[in-house]
Structure formats: structure tokens, C-alpha cells
Amino acid sequence: MLPFPIDAVPPLNGVRVLDAARVLAGPFCGQLLADLGADVIKLERPGAGDDTRGWGPPYVPGFNDLSAYFLSCNRGKRSLTLDIGSPDGSDIFHRLLAKCDVLIENFRTDSAEKLGLAPDALLARHPKLIACSISGFGRTGPMRDSPGYDFAIQALSGLMNITGPPDGPPYKVGVALADILTGLYASNAILAALHARSRTGHGYAIDLALTDCALAAQVNVAQAYLTSGKVPQRQGNAHLQIVPYQLFATLDGWLVLNVGNDGQWRAFCTAAGATELGTDARFATNRQRVEFRAELVPKVEALMKQLPTAEWETRLADANVPHAVVRTYADTFADAQTLARGMKVTVRDPAGNPVDLIGNPVHLHGAPGAEPTMPPRLGEQTASVLGELLGLDAEEVGALKAKGVV
């Protein structure tokens, strides 16, 4: 018997979320809440749906509205199509909100105000609602009405300027990191607001900007500028403040070396058969290794090229020196650790065929996670959601569909 009780349901069981956002940041936030047990209703445009449904290939075979992009951030949701710009659609939207705890939206500021969905208006009408607004630049400031795209945000936030080879052009990160970071910040803020509401009884408006989140997430590198007044130079696959902490070529491949402290530095030198380097006073501390980076890194590069990757893995593991081989997705998703952590899950598409999805990284002791389910087809649950929450029968839903409202 375990020393603590086990809940019968996931931690957000009973919380209902209306996910009216599209593309990535908002939908990713909604997926995180669904993974924790919330009932997440994805609101989409009739006939079109979320833009990412068509961002492919690849697609689930036989389903051109289930792209890999869409699959990555919409598992565990129910899809409802609704034209909130129409009078009937607006009425249904607010009736649904009255049944929900959380709204996630990424309307442009001017569009939200035109629809009467600005935070003050929303909370006046739904005083217990947690309304989370996600936009490129937030609801204040001179760029409040400007659209925000991840690539542009990476450029404007300074992230690209610190990414890429030292002598090459600025690089973007390989995924839409500003969107993902914003989704994480959003879910964190929503959980905090839900907790606060349980104490105060009233709702909250959350205003999140991709630019703010991308800047805040640059942590030590951005702080280095604020502390020194000097713009950090791009380090490529090296670290601004730790040496040697970077990618190195081996005799037959590539390996990341993560020497995080002075003891690990000496252990590396011993494992490399270069004890004299470990006792060299110029490189004794990390501060000195950073200052003498230009002298030290070529010495380490020469050492690393002497042995094949497999030999380095054995030596470094025996010496407890942190390191990693650069993997492909094929390597990663076949890895025993990845599989043991449930980071690849299999669900069934509408035809009953297996579809692999990225797993939920949150592991709770004392409560189950939500069972992963296939991301929905466009409008798949429209009739059932409207019937369940608003009491609309098939004839009423059919009439709304004929008018283009759903």
C-alpha cells in the first residue's frame, strides 16, 4: 500500500475550459490543461477550423484536417464550431462561457474590443471567469494591435541575436519556442488564478504577450546584458558563462560536453588522459576557463577528436562527467528512457487505426493524468457539447448549422 491516498480523478477534473485560441500558444496551453483532466472545448470557425489543421504534410492518412502540427497541441479536446461574429453565435458563446471556468483566446486587441470581449467587458458579464488573453504584444503599449508571429517574436525579443554561430547570421530556434513558452506561462497563470478564485470567489483577466515571454525566458543571457551593459555575443553551440560546455567533434561524430563545475573539469581531464590540463592553474576555476576560453577550447577540441564517440561515452560515464550524444527523433523515440517515461503514446484515429502522439511530461503521484485521446475532427462534438451544456436538441443544432452559425 502506498503511504498516501490516490485520487480517483485527475487534478483538474470538473474544470471546464473554452479554448477559443488558434495556431500554437493558446492551443498548447489548452492541451496542458486537458492533460491534467480539464474538459477543454476547442472553439473553431465553421468550415475552416484552426489554421494548423491544414499545415501539412504530414497528415494522419485519410484525414486532411488532422495534420501533425494540429495533433501536437490539441489532444484531449472536444471540437465545437461556432461563428461568434454572428448575433446567434455571440449569444451561444456567452451562454457557453457561463458554463465554463476558463477562457483562452488570442484575438487581436481591436478585434476583441469590437466583439465586446475585452477583459473588462468579459468579467463584467462573467464575474467568475478566468479570461486568459494571448497576443503577440499584449493589451497595452504602442504595438498592442500588431499581429505577432513566432519567427518575428524571436527576432524582436533578442532571442535570434544570441542564437547561431558566432560569425554567422542570427538563427531562430528549431521550433516555435516563443509560442510554446507563452503556452507554459499561460497554463501556470491560469492555475494560479483558479487557486485564487477558490479563495476570493471572483474571476481574473490574464494578459500574456509572446514578446514578454520570449524575453523573460532568456534568463541568464538577458540578465548578463542588464548586469554588464554589454550585448552578449552569439556562442553557437557553446555556453556564455560556462567552459567547456558545448558541442565537440569526436573521431567519428558529435558529442555535447557539459562540464558544470571544477571537479567535473578535473574528472574530464583525467578521463581524457590529460591530467596536466586539469592541473594547469590558468584553467583551475570556471571563471578562469571563461576568461581563457580562446586558449582552452582548442585544446579540448584536439582531445575530443582523438577518440570515437562510443569510447568517449564509456570514459565520461565512468568519470561521472555529464555528456550527451546528439540524437535524431528516430533515436529519441526509440530510446528506452523515452518509452519508460511514456513520452510516446498511441491513440486511435476515427477509422480505428493507431496514431502515435507526443506524451504528457507531467507525472503526478497521488492523482492520475487524463487518458490521452485523439485530437478531434473539425466540429466533431458540436452537437454533443451544445446538447450537454445548453440543452439544444438535434433540430435546434440543425437550424443553427443551416444558418452557418455552427
- CA distance between the termini of the chain: 50
CA–CA dist 30, 43 (Å, integer): 11
Do residues 136 and 182 make contact, with C-beta atoms less than 8 angstroms apart? no
Do residues 11 and 37 make contact, with C-beta atoms less than 8 angstroms apart? yes
State how far the alpha carbon of 285 is from the alpha carbons of 107, 121, 262, 358, in Å.
51, 58, 6, 41
Q: Tally the C-alpha atoms within 13 A of residue 231's C-alpha that lie toward its C-beta.
A: 8
Do residues 189 and 132 make contact, with C-beta atoms less than 8 angstroms apart? yes
- At how many degrees (to 10) do helices 87-97 and 382-390 cross? 60
Cβ burial of 169 (10 Å; 0-12, 13-18, 19+) is: exposed
CA–CA dist 152, 364 (Å, integer): 36
Q: Which of 19, 39, 179, 212 is catalytic?
A: 179
Q: How do strand 102-105 and strand 130-135 relate by DSSP bridges?
A: parallel
**Per-residue buried b or exposed e for 318-338, using 16+ beta carbons within 10 Å of the residue's own CB:** ebebebeeeeeeeeeeeeeee
Strand partners, 130: 102, 204
Q: How do strand 16-19 and strand 102-105 relate by DSSP bridges?
A: parallel
Do residues 148 and 137 make contact, with C-beta atoms less than 8 angstroms apart? yes
Residue 179 is among the residues annotated as catalytic for this protein: yes
State how far the alpha carbon of 221 is from the alpha carbons of 153, 174, 241, in Å.
17, 19, 9
Which cell numbers in the block locate residue 205?
483577466
Following DSSP, what letter does each residue of 224-246 receive, concatenated? HHHHHS-PPPP-TTS-SS-SSEE
Instruction: Find where cell 487581436 sits.
Output: 108
Instruction: Find where cell 574530464 sits.
Output: 268
Catalogue the active-site residues. 179
